[in-house]
Amino acid sequence: MLLKIVQVGDPILRAGTQPLGRDEIRSAEIQQLIEWMRETMRDAPGVGLAAPQIGLPLRLAIIEDKADAPELDRKPVPFHVIVNPTLTLGGEMVEQMEGCLSLDGFQAKVRRAKAVKVEALSHAGDPVTIEADGWYARILQHEIDHLDGHLYIDRMDTRTFTTVRNSLRFGGQ
């Protein structure tokens, strides 16, 4: 089942998220949601999708990157789920072009840490620690930003950026 991806200007993207308990993560509902999110992300196509992007205030995101572009510090990343992640930044800061499924048709240069450490729960509710660098570190930062109510455009001090349609729909919130 393909889910609707929420676009910039919808208040859910700024609302923040609620953590999930281990039993909730393992529930049939959340496991089905993960599969629908995977189908939606692949169809878009994208390399990550956070629950707020499909209208749910849950602290859950999925990631998968099949691309291999060494010149962009990009290597394939297998499909996985992060739930209730905490992020520790490391290494130097790098600036690269970045886009988002919730800002369809736009890109901008965004400055992010080159390396990160993420502690989270997996799709099974088990603790995981991820140490990533390059493009994978960027994806993790981007998706965790979504869970905290932030978009990549916030890194450019442009929180008021929105589509015309959503500006009319939500009164420029």
Annotated active-site positions, please? 143
Residues 122, 102: Cα–Cα separation, whole Å: 24
Task: Give me the DSSP letters along 58-80.
Answer: BSEEEEEE---BGGGTB--EEEE
Please list the residues that pair with 65 across neighbouring strands: 77
Element spanning 35, H or E: helix 28-43
Contacts of 56 (CB under 8 A, 6+ apart): 12, 33
Element spanning 87, H or E: strand 77-99
Tell me 124's DSSP state. Answer: T
